[in-house]
Chain A
Amino acid sequence: MATQVIMPKLSPTMEEGQVARWLKKEGDKVSMGEPLAEIDTDKATMEMQALSAGVLLKILVNEGESAPLGEPIAIVGEKDEDISNLLEGKKERAPKAEEEKAEEKPEAKEELKEAKKEKETEEEEAAEPKKAAPAKEKEKEKETKPTVEPSGDGRRQLISPIAARMAAEAGVDLRKVQGTGPGGRIIKRDIEAAMKEAKPSPAAAPKLRPMAMPKAQPGAVYGPSAYRDEPMSEMRRTIARRLVTSLGPVPHFFLTTEIEMDRAADMRQQINALYPDAKVSLNDVIIKVVAAALMQHPQVNASFQDKTVRYYEHADIGVAVATENGLITPIVRAADMKSLIEIAAEVRELAGRARERKLKPEEYMGATFSVSNLGMFGIDEFTAVINPPEAAILAIGAMTPKPVVREGEITIRQMMRATMSCDHRVVDGAVGAQFLQTFKQIIENPLYLFLG
């Protein structure tokens, strides 16, 4: 009989746990006592062991998501068992659950996502003129639904398992590899040859999700961002090692820029004039812009994970809030998916509860990037300390009118200094600078927010 795997109590103070990593996939055999998942508790990441044997039939809580103690997080039973009764009332928690489940090969994952994305866009487009020729749609589907890699002639690309694994590890672009096995199968020696040719270069780095401004889903609840772990290159590892020995556990460096805030301030006023209840603060605008900039610079929306660099899909922004007891950073999950009004409401609510010390651990743990604002204290400029394992934090100073030169003339503008602290193990100077540049560009012309 199928049984529910519940979120176990793994620490005396734990109230809920976050699934850090599933060690089994749906369909995997599970024996009793075997580690099933890694759970982040308020204390540590612990292995959760299976309490019954069988097959992992269904994952209810995806990686990165949390569940309260005792809540079902998976179902274990016999193969092909009907578990509909156990699933009743269980909603998919992750917005991307379908995507996560797709049975793609690891090396094809990104391409597949792209393909899916394209398809979604196409479907959106097609949604308007609903009468589009079905034949054409079918054709499109064929084009955009490869199970592995589309080869030039549209046939499925054959690849041996070890070749696929090596390609994924080395970041070899399989579309550029000519298979020499039977039927053009890409085999081990083809990858070895490709690796000899291609020097490790930024181009070989895994492709990242292009920035897109997704639709906001009002009222949607987001768990911690999904992510993927990329193996760290030898070069990256060396940088990490050397910087740590010179600067301490997290090797910081700092970038400062001065930003003209007139347009952002105007926009904020206009919104609040239209929606007096929205009470959007300048800090909310900053959060929204940070999230948008992160989507364009995913290298910054990342964390150092010892052997891998973890890249997050969404911008979960930690917002530093001063309380009587000290600093805490409640998290606006998936700020990239949310409207300014949603962000404002959420920050207000979280900050209120933060001051009442009523935040749950997952509401303040596991951001992907943080913003700290001391402008209200009249601070012009400061550096903030990174909240590990995040890769960066943005320190916002006070907005003050200053004389600046514009088109050869001295004029008064609302200026604000922003200083970004970066974890050099993950973010290099140029990468950080490019991010900051984008941030500046958007916030100086907030119209970009709507151009996706």
Chain B
Amino acid sequence: MAVITMRDALNDALREELARDPDVFLMGEEVAEYQGAYKVTRGLLEEFGAKRVIDTPITELGFAGLGVGAAMAGLRPIIEFMTFNFSILATDQIINSAAKMLYMSGGQFKIPIVFRGPGGSAYQVSSQHSQALESWYAYFPGLKVVMPSTPADAKGLLKSAIRDDDPVIFIEQERMYGMKGEVPEEDDFTIPLGVAEVKREGTDATIIARSLMVPAALKAAEELEKDGISCEVIDPRTIRPLDIETIVQSVQKTNRVVIAEESHPFCGVGGEISAEIHEQAFDYLDAPVKRVSAADVPMPYAKNLEQLAIPDFLQIVAAVKEVAYV
């Protein structure tokens, strides 16, 4: 196993898939000559040329729609949003075109496209550049939403997303690009979409976390272990379709749930997971499902306020203690 950063794992996945399938191309702002605003696409222009690694004007709606059209005609585009904040401009094409094309054409036009880029909280860039949008996209049938939390997951899931025949929203955490982790060196390492992973086993409470909150949840679990509370940490990895079976199995074992997320609480993915747990495992709950979410405010700039807005492991520890009645 090689220890590499999330950034390099993603870069490997892109390189391998570009090499594997000539129908795959990569398009976005600053992906080619600039080598990527976050250097995820570093070196790809040199390797694959300007035909397949394409810098775009700042025209998110336009190139998102162009990608969908290209997918209709048989290509497999990877559309990078410099950050997912800018995908908001492209939502008409993502939601009204990509998500619905297969359905409203009666199954004639599949859209094998990946919309990827950094999302979630960044460092002190204030309200417009620091927000979690997964609940928007997860709302729509027709889209798949993937959020990796380790370099290995990032690589394996991105490769699967590129090969998937449906539109996939692939949200990378901006703060995690430099995070290192072991990535299998095997040829063609992939991880199937729609499968959660138990990141840590435990018996007293289940912490469901995704993206940036997975390391926080693992740290919280370590802390809680000292108090004799054994936590299971589950990373759904794919938000839609959600692997609710794995979650329910864990809840049946632990009877207590904390959902940790860096998104706003209202109408969020955590609320959805909580609802599913209540529908499918109500009789196994020993306490109400507890969410630990970002503050319900736009992201502030000041460092101290920003820290207050994003949940940390201590909040997860407190939440677990609450549901475990400690």
Residues of A within 8 A of B (CB): 160-165, 180-182, 187-189
Contacts and interface: CB of A to CB of B under 8 A. Distances in A.
A248 B232 CA distance: 48
Nearest to A29: B279
B61 to A, nearest CB: 37
Q: Chain B CB within 10 Å — which of A162, A163, A181, A187 has the most?
A: A162
Q: Which 10 A-B pairs have the closest CB atoms?
A: A188-B286, A160-B286, A165-B283, A162-B286, A162-B255, A161-B285, A161-B283, A162-B284, A161-B282, A187-B286
Contacts, number: 28
Contacts of B282: 161
B52 to A, nearest CB: 44
B283 A188 contact: no
Interface in B304-326: 325
A164 B286 CA distance: 9
A182 B288 CA distance: 11
Interface in B273-293: 282-287
Nearest to B285: A161
A280 to B, nearest CB: 50
Provide the main secondary structure of the chain A interface: helix
Contacts of A160: 255, 285-287
Contacts of A189: 325
B325 A162 contact: no
A86 to B, nearest CB: 27
Nearest to A164: B283
14 contacts: A161-B282, A161-B283, A161-B284, A162-B255, A162-B283, A162-B286, A163-B286, A165-B283, A180-B325, A181-B325, A182-B325, A187-B286, A187-B325, A188-B286
A317 to B, nearest CB: 37
Contact of B255 (A180, A181, A182, A188): A188
Contacts of B284: 161-162, 165
Interface string B72-97: 00000000000000000000000000
B180 to A, nearest CB: 39
A306 B282 CA distance: 27
Given A161-B286, A165-B284, 9 more contacts: A160-B255, A161-B282, A161-B284, A162-B285, A182-B325, A187-B286, A187-B287, A187-B325, A188-B286
Contacts of B287: 160, 181, 187
A397 B187 CA distance: 84
A130 B325 CA distance: 50
A243 B296 CA distance: 65
A259 B297 CA distance: 84
B308 to A, nearest CB: 26
Contacts of B285: 160-162
Q: Chain A CB within 10 Å — which of B255, B284, B286 has the most?
A: B286
A156 to B, nearest CB: 16
Contacts of A161: 282-286
Contacts of A165: 283-284
Nearest to A168: B283
A160 B325 CA distance: 12
A2 to B, nearest CB: 23
Nearest to B255: A162
A419 to B, nearest CB: 45
A187 B287 CA distance: 8
A270 B46 CA distance: 111
A163 B283 CA distance: 8
